Amino acid sequence: MNFEKIYQYNFPTTIRFGTGVINELGDYLIKNKLSNPLIVTDPIVSQLNFFKQIIEDLKKKNISVEVFSGIHKNPVKSDVYKGTEAFDQTKRDSIIGIGGGAALDVARAIVLRVNHREDLFKYDDLIGGDVYVTNDVPHFITVPTTAGTGSEVGRSAIIADNETHQKKILFSPKLLAKIIFADPMLTMELPPFVTAATGMDALTHNMEAFLVNTFHPMCDGIAAEGMSLIHQSLETAVNKPDLESRSKMLIASLMGAVAFQKGLGVVHSLAHPLSSLLDTHHGLANAVNIPYGMEFNIEGFEDKFKKIAKTLELKEETGSAVVNYLFEMNSKINIPHRLRDIGVKEEHIETLSDLALADFAHPNNPKPVSRQNFKDLYTKAL
């Protein structure tokens, strides 16, 4: 670290966490004089019992509810435009995102679009678009129903272009939710595959954030504890879920997203192109790539891997023990070890390598990653 430098640390907003906390949502709206929320979710969550219950409870409190659920698995720009039309046409006064990262990202992008009507990708953070986010935004509330992305505490939304499928990041501190209702009960029925894939996304966030080489001891502490909580609970959450494992996973995923304000790394850059090109679930793409990405990172960062190994209670405190742990964890939660098992073919590798090199995550990786490195990593993982 450089003691003559000035650092900036941002921490999230009010988080209400715990069993049954979702029951506070109606009173919160009333207290804040919000009676016309747009609820943004995905088509699957909109059919689940807990979701119907939330809507019913709000209606009982005389809150007018409009649900928008027309979103893609990997959200695209037109989803955001359609959601904004729903907001306008039904004269809403606030936005509540209820769901996994996909639904929460669309909700956040609608929050942006309501009072920012230029082309959505003008606000792309990678081209400095955040400076155009100058107007007020509607009151925004998030309710996570997966334990993975931590998008509920984020300030960015990942939305893809309809045609090119390239993922863009919309970012602004204004896009942070005013309050988060994180209720582990909403994750109790998450299917094993979703639990496994989203859980490995959360582990990747904590581990990559921990490895980013900037001076941020607060986030390092959060990331280390996040990894520890996932170590204690992911296998149980997938194979024999109970309230303890669901609670630990939910808070750990939230912690991962707080920690990754430090940045992410090579694993996310390996993963993003799989979602753009092959529509692979984000968490699954990270899960398969993480052992290979971490193996690439060991050399030169042995001390950090020693700390990770300690956090994961490994007998041998080395980078290769961490890599073995990641492969073993994937086996225990039924995630394949090879990219070929999730639909990647040799002919995809050149395009994937181009997309990975162009991705926003790896510039924060502790060591530089070249196109050849990406190609070698994909080839190894194939």
Ligand X SMILES: NC(=O)c1ccc[n+]([C@@H]2O[C@H](COP(=O)([O-])OP(=O)(O)OC[C@H]3O[C@@H](n4cnc5c(N)ncnc54)[C@H](O)[C@@H]3O)[C@@H](O)[C@H]2O)c1
Supply the minimum distance, in Å, between the C-beta of residue 146 and ligand X. 4
Supply the minimum distance, in Å, between the C-beta of residue 188 and Fe ion. 22
Give the nearer residue to Fe ion in terms of CB position, either 151 or 353.
151
Q: Which own/partner contact pairs does 365-371 have at CB distance under 8 Å and 24+ positions apart? A: 365/208, 365/211, 365/212, 365/264, 365/265, 365/266, 365/269, 365/297, 366/211, 366/212, 366/213, 366/265, 366/297, 366/300, 366/301, 366/304, 367/296, 367/297, 367/299, 367/300, 367/301, 369/266, 369/269, 369/296
Give the nearer residue to Fe ion in terms of CB position, either 29 or 271.
271
Question: Binding partner of residue 44 among ligand X, Fe ion, none, CB under 5 to 8 Å per kind?
Answer: ligand X
Phi-psi label, residue 33: left if phi above 0, alpha if psi -120 to 50, beta otherwise: left
Q: Does 42 interact with Fe ion (rule: CB under 5 A)?
A: no
Among 42, 79, 124, 201, binds Fe ion (CB under 5 A): 201
DSSP single-letter state for residue 207: H
Question: Binding partner of residue 262 among ligand X, Fe ion, none, CB under 5 to 8 Å per kind?
Answer: none
Candidate segments 30-38, 57-65, 193-201, 226-234, binder of Fe ion by CB under 5 A: 193-201
Distance between CA 83 and CA 88 in Å, rounded?
Answer: 9
Determine the size of the site formed for Fe ion (CB under 5 A): 1
Question: Binding partner of residue 41 among ligand X, Fe ion, none, CB under 5 to 8 Å per kind?
Answer: none
Distance between CA 70 and CA 78 in Å, rounded?
Answer: 10
Give the nearer residue to ligand X in terms of CB position, either 50 or 132.
50
| Contact footprint for ligand X (CB under 6 A) | 42, 44-45, 48, 73-75, 99-103, 105, 145-146, 148-149, 151, 154, 156-158, 186-187, 189-190, 194, 198, 201, 282-283
Question: Binding partner of residue 154 among Fe ion, ligand X, none, CB under 5 to 8 Å per kind?
Answer: ligand X
Name the one residue in this structure whose structure tokens are 């209820």. Answer: 98
Q: Describe the crossing of helices 217-239 and 302-311 by its angle, rounded to 10 degrees.
A: 50
Supply the minimum distance, in Å, between the C-beta of residue 26 and ligand X. 20
Handedness of CA 223, 227, 228, 232 (dihedral sign): positive
Question: Binding partner of residue 37 among ligand X, Fe ion, none, CB under 5 to 8 Å per kind?
Answer: none
Q: Does 295 interact with Fe ion (rule: CB under 5 A)?
A: no
Residues that bind Fe ion (CB under 5 A): 201
